[in-house]
Amino acid sequence: MKTVLYILTTCAVVGLAFWAYRENYATQQALKDTEQLRREIRAAHGRLTMLRAEWAYLNRPDRLRELADLNFQRLGLMPLRPDQFGLVEQVSYPPRPLLPLINSIEVSSANAPEAQP
């Protein structure tokens, strides 16, 4: 009986060692993948920072003013003035939708049967 117990214990230890070995390599691969993703995220942040800087450079007020002046005939852009803005009271909002009728009742007498005296 002791021999069977020793064999089962040895098999269990070997099985657990094999499982731990596989989990170790799976964990190392997951860590490598995570580090690769972090590198890609850092590179994307760098590209995003560069694009934001380029956007800010291209949207400088003096550059936009020059472009508006150069393309005035084609676009007809004019500088903004304070009198071009309206008041909140002047904004026309769409009317609120009517509430839907649920279980409506017919009140017209055109389709009602005539009453018998």
pLDDT tens-place string over residues 66-117 = 888 888 888 887 777 878 888 888 888 888 888 777 777 776 665 555 555 4
The secondary structure of the chain, three-state, reads: CHHHHHHHHHHHHHHHHHHHHHHHHHHHHHHHHHHHHHHHHHHHHHHHHHHHHHHHHHCCHHHHHHHHHHCHHHHCCCCCCHHHCCCHHHCCCCCCCCCCCCCCCCCCCCCCCCCCC
**The model scores a pTM over 0.75:** no
Spans of all domains in the chain: 2-71
